[in-house]
Structure 1
Amino acid sequence: MTTDESTAGTEAGATPDAPVDAPVDAPAAEEKPAPARVPAWRGGFGRLWSAAVISRFGDSLRTAALPLLAASLTDDPLLIASVTACGYVPWLLFGLLGGAVADRVDQRRAMWAVDLARGVLMAGFALAVAQGHGTIALLLALAFLLTTLQTLFDNAATALLPAVVPRETLAGANARLMTGQQVASGFLAAPLVPALLVIGASAPFAANAATYVVGALLIASLRTDAPAKAPRAAGSTLRAEMADGTRALWRDSALRGLSVATALSNIGMGALIATLVLHITGWLSAGNSGYAAVITAYGVASVVGGLVAPRLALRIGRTRSILVAGIVQTCALVVLGTVRDLWVAVAAMAVFAVMGMVWNVNQATLIQERSPAEMLGRISSAFRTLAIGGAPLGALLGGLAAAAWGLNTPALLAAGAFTLAVASLGALIN
């Protein structure tokens, strides 16, 4: 379950000789993860981790500041919501293309070039805001362009990690990456935004520009060779390569089931996230302090989940870990939607967050382990495109449900979506 998959990768040559159209139908339940190991900070992982965490820190500054800036420019809810929507649309339009390009190019160079481009965009935007030229149209264009570039960056990052860490440390690498990004986002960036806004409305965006430049320098300093690429067939086109990646995802029974489950769960996540503030401040009458308590609990528990995820996979297997996570999350959502008590909500969201990280870490690692190295960018982009598509649909359904049946119903709607996700996962291991 994720609407924002972290930097990840797969072992180069994990299944390099698998034909593009060959189904890979070994049941995921039979997979026996290797003993959990953590990657060494030397050899490039420390720099890659630092780049990912610093970039997420800057992204979180921007994400927190953009709605505030939008609200200061207009009181039209549709325009303000459109700023967020522009963060999803490019994935639906260009996600598959970004994966195909990532499989063609040197991923390291693509990543630092994209980060430099994003740094220039953000610096220009910060300057425009500082000079009083910020407009809703500019916000919409910025959100669209940044996410378009992210489709290439994220897919290139997915394909690069296996050249940096050994296969047996992939789960530990994913856990460290996601945990570090969660700390940077939830505990460092969020409290800093108000202080930066005291300096000026452009300060969070200027800081975001600086983080992109630092990230680009870190990635450019990597001396790791990119994963080997199989020669492309003569006359091969990006469209054909995108289709190959989508077909490879769909023919792998485990990844197909996981992609469907993730799309369903992200419908639930979209419904929950879009209305959570109304659930806490309205249905629970807990006010802003109650909402802050829930968000804080979620952030802390996500870090705990990053530590738990590799160990749980070692005990019961990767797919079963995702299945258990989905079952527990469903129960947490039912509690959240039926028990009208703030501290029960805090506990439910904490449990939900721990299991969410278990899902995310093992999902990323499963994709890495089962994808041919030369197709990893395309397979992961097809997975992301399908998964991210569920979030805006869920947000719309959550808003409609809250208006029609009450502010607690989106949580129950999310529980229903997770139930379907669990059912689709359960079919894989039966």
Structure 2
Amino acid sequence: MSVRQAQGPAGRGTRPGLWREGLAALRSGDLRLIWLAQVVSQLGDGVFTLGIVVLTVELTASGLALSGTLMAQLLPYALLGAPAGALADRWNRRLTMVASDIARGLVVALLPLLHLTGWLHAWMIPVVAFLLTTGGLFFDPAKNALVPTVTPAGALVRVNALLAGTRQVLFIAAPALGGVLAAAFGTMTLFWIDAASFFLSAAILARMRVSGRVPALTPGPPSPRPSATPLPQGGRGAGGEGSPVRGHLLRDVQEGLRYVWRVPVLRLMVIVGTFINFILSPLPVILPLLFLTVLGLGTAAFGTALSFIFAGFLLGVAFVGVSGSRIHLGYLTTAAMAVAGLAVLALGAGPPLTVIHLIGLAGGAAVGIMEVAETTVLQRESTDAVRGRVFALYESVSQGGRAVSVALAGALSDRVGLRAMVYAVGALTLACAVLLALSPPVRRLARG
């Protein structure tokens, strides 16, 4: 059954039907628990992000130490992402999420506990950051693989929009809350809060009714999606749900790689997504310097521009959540990528501040649309038994490229100039959009 067939009469382009469907999706008990756990956990993540930066500065006052901590957060993607995704496709996904939250809560609690004993040293901070990201490598593929199984038919786009929008709101609000709490009760309070948020999230997820077991993938088409491709025969046996044949871990990783390579849409999304992440990742380094040193707009102007970008992200998420089921996701992703490229090019021209605000809205909306659309495509076009590996591979290569890109951004901007870097980012993003628009997999996805 296709998405349109699953929608029935209410999905024929009427906005009230779309809203009813979105609200009905959140009424699903397991989906509501996943969303609530995300709210709790990401509120903790937001205060942790502030706390780990402040703690590093307090202990070292070193930019190099802060850079090392940030790199430690990205390194696990390159080293452990693919094996973690393979394990997420072996293990019970609900239990994997619960165990990951408990483990991360214990890791974060080490910082205030070591501080109480007087044994906390600066080198321990990047170690904690590395371990925390490693725990997330198991949680995120399990969650992204589980969400489609607990989402009502036809509501996946709106559910992904809800999750992305919630994450963005907490990304904005949580650091501000963390700043108030740190000023009132000290930096270590932030880590106690984050640890508690992981434990509470685990308790919420443990209440889900879905079994979380990974279904065996038998030979032949296992999915109603026409483009979803089964694993090669021999990779998983027909042992029934929850009893896949346990092969070597490396073989599972290789199966995931072969699966992505054999499905044209997945292969394209991973390659283009990696390249786009690599291209856009320097912007957090370049834009502050562009505003403050080239455009001469000042800190306040940069802060308001960021607010418009964040607001645009929420508008983009809302748009795709309401209209995504009526718009082909392939073309929607392509259009959003083109808008993002044009927005970056326009920023490089140094327009008036009012125009910059409008550009920020458009660029933020484009990023929000791309995130929801890409997540939905990866979920729809992969079968349940391999979905964890698909997301882990995507995150591994894209985040690994991001780490390299951020490391190169500062040196390149000093050599070629900030404005030239901004133009290069915009032009390359536009080039990616053109290639995506011309690719046969996107056109086939649009027809489906």
Per the normalisation by structure 1, the TM-score is 0.88
Map of 1:181 onto structure 2: 167
- 2:322 is the counterpart of 1:322: no
Residues 90-99 or 130-139, more deviating: 130-139
For 1:424 and 1:43, the matched residues in 2 are separated by: 41
Map of 2:316 onto structure 1: 305
Per the normalisation by structure 2, the TM-score is 0.84
For 2:130 and 2:6, the matched residues in 1 are separated by: 39
How far residue 269 of structure 1 moved from its aligned partner, in angstroms, is 2.0
Residues 364-373 or 67-76, more deviating: 67-76
**Preserved contact between residue 284 and residue 340 of structure 1 (Cα < 8 Å):** no
Corresponding letter in the other structure for 1:223: R
Map of 1:264 onto structure 2: 275
Map of 2:240 onto structure 1: none
For 2:4 and 2:271, the matched residues in 1 are separated by: 20
Q: Which of the residues 199, 203, 206 maps onto 1:220?
A: 206
Q: How many residues align?
A: 402
Corresponding letter in the other structure for 1:164: V
For 2:400 and 2:56, the matched residues in 1 are separated by: 24
Percent identity between the two aligned chains: 24
**Preserved contact between residue 46 and residue 175 of structure 2 (Cα < 8 Å):** yes
Decide which structure has the larger Cα Rg and report it: 2
Residues 83-92 or 339-348, more deviating: 339-348
**Preserved contact between residue 34 and residue 205 of structure 2 (Cα < 8 Å):** yes
**Preserved contact between residue 340 and residue 429 of structure 2 (Cα < 8 Å):** yes
| CA displacement 1:81-105 (0-9 Å, x = unmatched) | 1111111110111111111111111
CA gap of 1:277–1:64, structure 2 versus 1, over 3 A, is farther
Map of 1:202 onto structure 2: 188
Q: Which of the residues 293, 297, 300 maps onto 1:289?
A: 300
How far residue 52 of structure 1 moved from its aligned partner, in angstroms, is 1.2
Gaps (5+ residues) in structure 1?
1-13, 16-29
SS at the partner of 2:418? coil
CA gap of 1:215–1:335, structure 2 versus 1, over 3 A, is same
How far residue 130 of structure 1 moved from its aligned partner, in angstroms, is 5.2
**Preserved contact between residue 270 and residue 393 of structure 1 (Cα < 8 Å):** no
For 2:156 and 2:207, the matched residues in 1 are separated by: 21
| CA displacement 1:164-201 (0-9 Å, x = unmatched) | 21231111110111111111111x20211221111102
Q: Map 1:47-58 onto structure 2 (within 5 A).
A: 47-58=33-44
Corresponding letter in the other structure for 1:266: N
CA gap of 1:129–1:251, structure 2 versus 1, over 3 A, is same
Gaps (5+ residues) in structure 2?
12-17, 218-235, 238-244, 444-448
Q: Which of the residues 334, 354, 364 maps onto 1:343?
A: 354
Map of 1:60 onto structure 2: 46
For 1:72 and 1:284, the matched residues in 2 are separated by: 32
Residues 31-40 or 93-102, more deviating: 31-40
Query: Highest relative contact order (Cα 8 Å, sep 6+), 1 or 2?
Result: 1
- 2:113 is the counterpart of 1:113: no
Map of 1:88 onto structure 2: 74
CA gap of 1:116–1:133, structure 2 versus 1, over 3 A, is same
Residues 80-89 or 303-312, more deviating: 303-312
Q: Which of the residues 368, 387, 393 maps onto 2:404?
A: 393
SS at the partner of 1:401? helix
For 2:278 and 2:5, the matched residues in 1 are separated by: 30
Corresponding letter in the other structure for 1:398: A
Corresponding letter in the other structure for 1:193: G
CA RMSD of aligned residues (A): 2.3
4+ residue stretches of structure 1 with deviation over 6 A?
30-33
**Preserved contact between residue 280 and residue 342 of structure 1 (Cα < 8 Å):** no
CA gap of 1:124–1:235, structure 2 versus 1, over 3 A, is closer
SS at the partner of 2:31? helix
- 2:180 is the counterpart of 1:169: no
CA gap of 1:417–1:78, structure 2 versus 1, over 3 A, is farther
